[in-house]
Amino acid sequence: MEILAFGVQSDEKPLIEKAFAGRHEVRCLDVFLTEDTAAIAAGHEAVSTSVNCGLGHRVLQTLAAGGTQLVVQRSTGFNNIDLEVAERLGMTVARVSSYSPHSVAEFAWTLGMAVNRRIVRAANRTRDFDFRLDGLMGRDMHGRTAGVLGTGKIGEAFTRIAHGFGMRLLGWDVAENPACVELGMEYVSKERLLAESDLVTLHVPLMPETRHLVDAEALRTMKNDAILVNSSRGGLIDSRALVDQLREGRFTGVGLDVYEAEAGLFFLDKSLETVEDDTLARLVTFPNVLVTSHQAYYTTDAVGQIVDATVRNVLDYTEGRRSENVLVPRS
């Protein structure tokens, strides 16, 4: 069986090809799966997708009409897939239920520290041999408060980093994580966490009930000099409301590795085009905002685990097994 893999990054391609070698054929494409590209998959029983591929009803119908029966997504999140339509079409859908939580947690901490210590601004200055310190003053994180929204595996990993820096720990989740409690985390309401935290980091999945978890009201609850970091899903933050707050001069820094309208932008070179997203265009102009293109997971360790899990998902499908990665089982 030949698997058609969409949205494959150049660093990712050799890992995918090596993992599938001797098992199944795989053809890697750098284009993303969209309504315009879905027809390419005709004749392929299995496709592999990335988080920024769009698998709405039209794409899934095109895939099914072309003979695709298996979708294996190379990510934990699956909010880009219409699972009800996939089930109705008799398609099997699987994802990667977990991979190195340290990759995302470490990157989230890096974003927070980068905006706190004005690293990008400092680096840009020194490239021009400007060695002034004006405007580069940051703050010690030791003794300050870290608020972790979502304390699963990634949230726990972030908590351990913050604990190592000597921070007070506040957490919010549907259930307490005993490992975080052991580190001294106090579980509080979302409102109290936002009001008391010097650094707020998001590690919850994107679902209808968590969309715009950090909305205008939540942003107003935060300290004026707080740091906000999102390395989970862009839809957790109301981006327009965030722009409004930034225009009022609020927040020491904001680090965003995700953006709610990133599909069709992130992972692509848009440097020679006019970006029509006014909200994103405004966000990147703020000197205290750092935007990266959904790269928190992008380490050799994490991507290797993602690829290995994807191979297992294909093998499970061909050999009639079902694992915790399956979102829509084989009919």
- What are the φ and ψ backbone dihedral angles of 37, each rounded to 5 degrees? -105, -5
**Residue of 12, 233, 250, 260 with catalytic role:** 233
Cα–Cα dist 169/21, whole Å: 45
Residues written for the chain: 331
16 is written with which tokens? 């995918």
Cα–Cα dist 33/31, whole Å: 7
**Residue of 44, 95, 250, 294 with catalytic role:** 294
Catalytic: 233?
yes
Nearest to 212 by CA among 231, 191, 240: 240
* Residues 151/203, Cβ–Cβ less than 8 Å: yes
Catalytic: 212?
no
8-state DSSP, 177 = -
Catalytic: 262?
yes
Q: What angle do CA 223, 200, 204 make, to 5 degrees?
A: 140
* Residues 78/206, Cβ–Cβ less than 8 Å: no
**Residue of 12, 106, 260, 262 with catalytic role:** 262
Cα–Cα dist 316/313, whole Å: 5
Cα–Cα dist 211/230, whole Å: 13
Catalytic annotation, residues = 233, 262, 294
